[in-house]
Structure 1
Amino acid sequence: MSDDKVKALEVKRSSRLTGFYQQSPERRRARLVESRWLAPEDARACEGLGGFDEACADVMVENVIGLHGLPLGVALNFVVNGRDRLVPMAVEEPSIIAAASYAARLCAEGGGFTVQADAPITTAQVQLLEVPSLEAAREALRAGTPELLAAANALMPAMCARGGGARELEVRVLDATTLVVHLHVDTRDSMGANLVNSVAEDLAPRLVALTGGRAGLKILTNLADRRKVRVRARVPASALASERFQDGAVVRDAILEAQRFAELDVYRAVTHNKGVMNGVDAVLVACGNDWRAVEAGAHAYAARHGGYRPLTSWWKGPEGELCGELELPLATSTVGGAARTHPGVQRALKLAGTSGAVDLAGLAAAAGLATNLAALKALSTDGIQKGHMALHARRVAAEAGASGELVGIIADRLSRERVYRPERAREILEAEVARRQGGRR
């Protein structure tokens, strides 16, 4: 099938699957097949642990004694750079997937998410200590840069063959006798940690010879500020209206007040950014990426100007719409690591329709902007607990022994009563079971 025909088929797929949340996991998988988001064999493989077993786990990490699962869901309604997308998310916290889907639907009213991403640059650091002359060392490194880049590329022929390779050498002064050399490497669809670490170790003797210093640490940095993603969205004020808040402009202004709160107060900014990372991390976990590295880099980036700030910006647009932007460093991969060994990760990447690491980074960032918007809207209107407690009620119902459709029935009753105790859930369950049994006599 030609690329044009594949693209035509993709255009016809919609990320809007009405009533999806109300259906059973089995029916949801069937709908993904019907909508051509999943092949039948991939849908069947999603059941249970999705083909992930102890043998696979034992290859991935040390001292394996078993498996630990997380729910895998899909966020709906995403339109990214004009293309409908489903977003796989693996997360234990209730409301995150629902929040992302809801906010994505609001953003779709304004055309969806627009994503721009830098080239996939991974940076290795070589620490040089006891440098006798910083000025002479910097000049020697400047003059030797072409040879150093060529030497680095000679160490990674496979990466260079894929279009990647060493792009730049940067020198930074840390104190009176300490330099750090940054080697910026385009690692294509891999995160490139092992590769750049190896290259840094191999280049260190050359750097020592040029500078007269002593080599210290040789390792990548997780502040991937050469690998940033920027995502924007706009929401018409009318789309923000609800039954309780009928003037969308009032909701917009309340969201802007919440944004300003995060800009002024570090305590709020941390929680604000946690809302961003709710979406980003869930996508990265589903797709087998190093979410811890991205978290560390994101929070460092939030403090790059000396004070900790929100990663997002929200403002009023020229037509009264709500406009938002998220920018953060986001190093991702779609090859190697878990993508090579974990069958569930492979299916998540397929479901996301990723074209490579840069595309995956953009999708994760769109999810982050969506979860941030959903949190700000909830906090500015009904409060965050309304949605949380509705989903918490389902957990309590399941804990009390409910299954199938009884989970929803018990959860609805708990929510109406605003009582979320397991003992109350058991009382309601016993009464409902007795009622049904009585009706069958």
Structure 2
Amino acid sequence: MDTSKLTKFYKKTHEEKVSALKEAGVISLEEATLLTEKGLDLDPSVGEHMIENHIGNYSLPLGVSTNFVIDDKEVLVPMAIEEPSVIAAASFAAKIIGSAGGFTTAVTDRLMIGQVTLKNVEHIENAIFEIEKAEQTILERANEAHPSIVKRGGGAKSLETRVLKADPEEGTPAFLVVHLHIDTQEAMGANIVNTMMEGIAPYIEELTGGKALLRILSNYATECLATATCTIPAHKLKTGTYSGEDVRDRIIEAAQVAWADPYRAVTHNKGIMNGVDAVVIASGNDWRAIEAGSHAYAARSRQYRALSKWHANDQGDLVGTLTLPLAVGTVGGSISIHPGAKLARKILMDPDAKRLESILVSVGLAQNFAAVRALVTDGIQKGHMGLHARSLAISAGAKGPQVEKVAEQLKQAPHMNLQTARDFLKELL
């Protein structure tokens, strides 16, 4: 990728952006033509088979975030999102972090979790003993239920049990839960896991004398974690009247508030997921699963807390860390069907699942840095409202060059609203 072709990407017209991507070697001539002429909407015949009762397509803007350096490799990040300022913020943060060496990531073994939940188990301790004694047989039966994943090097790898204690006050009985840890290779693996759970449930019923109530994957992917870290020298944080050390300390203090206060943590984490969700959607993965798993991970201490952490190292640098459970895939589902997802994969340089996790968690940390930095310095509205002005101009009916002209006037107006935008547009016409 020739990043020199992407300089001041945000200032280019749509045609110039597409041309720059082609000249940089990110997309082909055919893909450039698709973006400029045909667009990325699903063919009705494809949409009809993806969901029930299909009546049309609902589009989101697809953009690219620039400046990312992840594990010493430059990457252009596709993001599908309707919210103004997210892509700009990610690119801004990535530029600062990239100038300091970029993001370093670590990804655990990619193991998805399947659950068989048993009710009416009379002797739970004895049932656990029987399950653990039969672990190898259970794993073999799970793999027999989906032999194709075993041929590709994946399959069920280990087993554990959990007891959900009875709660007399709520009238809840005790349940015994069997977890299987499953390597689904490049797939997110929901269908693989569900098939395996249904395959082993009858045998586990025989072993325990209980009745299988649930046989399904868990989207709480605690065996599939990705961590991103960045280190930013304090002098790179200086802005306006704030010294770099002031900005560093204020970011750390804001992170401490988000760790202690669930009300702040929710918004703090929402900012992280702004970036993560946008890439997950662009790549054709299940953003609802990623959201649910990430928020559960934020509450793993039994209090909902910030997902990211920021501190100063011995050299006085600002250090950020983010860990997320990221059960994503690069094959299956809509990934190979949706034209937008296929193009996103191309822009990402055809990553495997682990590399995609590294990109996602890095984008989340960049988004968090940008948001918290803005909050503790100029305030979040300065950049956000600038982009919001464009949305108001479009809503007022502005087109082409009119959009920027109306937006610029709105930024100077005492009241930025739709009526003001209409008034400015009327003056132009």
**TM superposition score normalised by structure 2:** 0.95
Superposed CA deviations along residues 7-43 of structure 1, whole A, max 9, x for unmatched, are: xxx5xx3388332112211110110011111111112
339-348 vs 269-278, which moves further: 339-348
Task: Count residues with an aligned counterpart.
Answer: 421
Superposed CA deviations along residues 223-277 of structure 1, whole A, max 9, x for unmatched, are: 10000110111112111112x1351111111111111111121100110000110
Give the Cα–Cα distance (whole angstroms) in 2 for the partners of residues 418 and 393 of structure 1. Answer: 13
SS of the counterpart of 2:3? coil
1:193 paired to 2:190: yes
Q: How far 1:401 moved relative to its partner? A: 2.5
Q: How far 1:46 moved relative to its partner? A: 2.4
Aligned equivalent of 1:203? 200
Aligned equivalent of 1:93? 83
Aligned equivalent of 1:29? 18
Give the Cα–Cα distance (whole angstroms) in 1 for the partners of residues 5 and 366 of structure 2. Answer: 15
Give the Cα–Cα distance (whole angstroms) in 2 for the partners of residues 216 and 246 of structure 1. Answer: 58
> Are the counterparts in 2 of residues 16 and 77 from structure 1 also a CA contact under 8 Å?
no
What letter corresponds to residue 20 of structure 1 in structure 2? F
Consecutive unaligned residues of structure 1, counting only runs of 5 or more, are 1-9, 434-441
**TM superposition score normalised by structure 1:** 0.92
What letter corresponds to residue 429 of structure 1 in structure 2? L
Aligned equivalent of 1:346? 342
Superposed CA deviations along residues 130-164 of structure 1, whole A, max 9, x for unmatched, are: 11212211111111111111111122221112111
407-416 vs 201-210, which moves further: 407-416
What letter corresponds to residue 271 of structure 2 in structure 1? G
Give the Cα–Cα distance (whole angstroms) in 1 for the partners of residues 138 and 4 of structure 2. Answer: 48
1:308 paired to 2:319: no
Q: How far 1:217 moved relative to its partner? A: 0.6
> Are the counterparts in 2 of residues 245 and 251 from structure 1 also a CA contact under 8 Å?
no
2:215 pairs with one of 205, 215, 218:
218
44-53 vs 65-74, which moves further: 44-53
1:148 pairs with one of 130, 134, 138:
138
Q: How far 1:365 moved relative to its partner? A: 1.0
Consecutive unaligned residues of structure 2, counting only runs of 5 or more, are 167-173
> Are the counterparts in 2 of residues 79 and 108 from structure 1 also a CA contact under 8 Å?
yes
1:68 pairs with one of 58, 63, 71:
58
1:170 pairs with one of 151, 160, 176:
160
Give the Cα–Cα distance (whole angstroms) in 2 for the partners of residues 211 and 382 of structure 1. Answer: 61
1:236 paired to 2:233: yes
Superposed CA deviations along residues 166-210 of structure 1, whole A, max 9, x for unmatched, are: 111111111265210001100011111011111101110100111
Aligned equivalent of 2:404? 408
Cα separation, partners in 2 of 1:358 and 1:365, compared to 1, 3 Å? same
1:104 paired to 2:67: no
RMSD: 1.5
Aligned equivalent of 1:136? 126
Identity %: 45
> Are the counterparts in 2 of residues 15 and 85 from structure 1 also a CA contact under 8 Å?
no
SS of the counterpart of 1:323? strand
SS of the counterpart of 1:216? strand
> Are the counterparts in 2 of residues 241 and 247 from structure 1 also a CA contact under 8 Å?
yes
